[in-house]
């Protein structure tokens, strides 16, 4: 076929001045972030799962066993929950971090938790392998700088009102402080649509991949906030080239203290893992 010389390529791929560390052209090849035996941005899909919030020692351990059994790679659990409303469960705080750490050690999976300010980052660094900056803190610049000074992989969720450019700049804040282990996480953006709580921006996957060398994962739980849409959205993300998926999974959905409606139960999570494995095989053939 004749070369398509649309002229768009050069402008699109030129490294933008403000994201010189995050942009694709700043290094040869893509960044692979290793956490234990798990590789973000490598050749296999990473599946992160666990409850929205750590609720008890028993709950997180039961969830951890289910994550491992289904073939998940990383255990999640929130100990500090920055809810839209101040009234729902706000997390067990350091006690939750201890239970999460214990469960992770028992099932031998790396663990991730959300940090909401510099103080909680200090606690999290003692207990977890990866920290998460939530959508509501994507432009908390002092937190971004603090995480940038810590030597720990970071999942940087997209703010639901943030453009991709603002998100790339948030990642630059972290990298500019010396931490190059940044993983983007698309989790849905605000739109006029009300059938789902947020609108999953699948375009973010190929756009981030063309603009940055960093890995990108997708959270289909937080984006739809509807149990029955999680599996189809996760499959769409993988087909679009996401490096991983983060889903909320609760061993007893009806008792969940946080985000039960957007969590999978154990058998649904197993089903998701089986379906993702099948898709991964197909996408590998084509990519």
Q: How far is the CB of 13 from ligand PEP (least distance, A)?
A: 29
Name which of 140 and 179 has its Cβ closer to Mn ion: 140
Q: Is 52 in the site for Mn ion (CB under 5 A)?
A: yes
Between residues 113 and 268, which has the closer beta carbon with respect to ligand PEP? 113
Q: Which two tokens stand for residue 29?
A: 């090849």
**Which residues of the shown chain bind ligand PEP in the complex (CB under 6 A)?**
52, 78, 134-136, 157, 187, 219, 222
CB of 170 to Mn ion, least distance (A): 20
The count of other CB atoms within 10 Å of the CB of residue 152 is 16
DSSP letter, residue 23:
B
157 contacts which partner out of Mn ion, ligand PEP, none, CB within 5 to 8 A by kind? Answer: ligand PEP
- Positions in 224-263 near Mn ion (CB under 5 A): 259
Half-sphere exposure of 152 (CA within 13 A, CB side): 27
The Cα 49–Cα 193 span in angstroms is 27
Q: Which does 55 bind (CB under 5 to 8 A by kind): ligand PEP, Mn ion, none?
A: none
CB of 77 to ligand PEP, least distance (A): 9
Residue among 29, 84, 101 at smallest CA distance from 92: 101
Q: Please, which residue, 16 or 94, has the CB nearer to ligand PEP?
A: 94
Q: Torsions phi, psi of 183, nearest 5? A: -120, 120
* C-beta of 168 vs 222, nearer to Mn ion: 222
Contact status, residue 279 vs residue 238, Cβ threshold 8 Å: yes
CB of 60 to Mn ion, least distance (A): 14
Residue 187 binding target from Mn ion, ligand PEP, none, CB below 5 to 8 Å by type? ligand PEP
Q: Tokens 């010389």 belong to which residue?
A: 5
DSSP label at 285? H
Give least dist CB 128 to Mn ion, A: 16
Q: How many helices (H) and strands (E) does the chain have?
A: 10, 11
Please choose, from the candidates 44, 54, 67, the residue with its C-alpha nearest in 3D space to the C-alpha of residue 264: 67
* CB of 225 vs ligand PEP, minimal distance in Å: 9
The C-alpha atoms of residue 191 and residue 76 are separated, in whole angstroms, by 27
* 204 binds Mn ion, rule: CB under 5 A: no
Residues lying near Mn ion in the complex (CB under 5 A): 52, 259
């Amino acid at each position: 076929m004749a070369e398509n010389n649309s002229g768009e390529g050069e402008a699109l791929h030129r490294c933008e001045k403000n994201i010189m560390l995050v942009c694709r052209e700043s290094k040869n090849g893509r960044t692979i972030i290793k956490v234990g035996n798990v590789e973000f941005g490598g050749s296999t899909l990473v599946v992160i799962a666990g409850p929205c919030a750590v609720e008890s020692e028993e709950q997180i351990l039961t969830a951890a066993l289910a994550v491992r059994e289904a073939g998940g790679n990383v255990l999640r659990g929130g100990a500090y929950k920055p809810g839209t409303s101040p009234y729902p469960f706000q997390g067990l705080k350091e006690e939750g971090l201890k239970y999460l750490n214990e469960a992770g050690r028992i099932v031998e999976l790396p663990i991730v938790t959300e940090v909401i300010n510099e103080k909680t980052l200090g606690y999290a660094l003692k207990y977890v392998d990866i920290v998460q900056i939530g959508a509501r803190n994507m432009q908390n610049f002092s937190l971004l700088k603090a995480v940038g000074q810590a030597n720990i992989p970071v999942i940087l969720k997209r703010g639901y009102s943030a453009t991709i450019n603002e998100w790339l700049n948030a990642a630059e804040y972290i990298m500019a402080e010396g931490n190059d282990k940044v993983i983007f996480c698309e989790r849905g953006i605000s739109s006029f649509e009300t059938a789902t709580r947020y609108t999953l921006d699948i375009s973010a996957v190929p756009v981030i991949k063309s603009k940055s060398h960093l890995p990108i994962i997708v959270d289909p739980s937080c984006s739809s906030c509807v149990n029955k849409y999680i599996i189809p959205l996760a499959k769409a993300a993988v087909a679009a080239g996401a490096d991983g998926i983060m889903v909320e999974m609760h061993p007893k959905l009806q008792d969940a203290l946080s985000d039960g409606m957007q969590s999978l139960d154990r058998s649904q999570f197993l089903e998701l893992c089986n379906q993702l494995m099948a898709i991964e095989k197909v996408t590998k053939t084509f990519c």
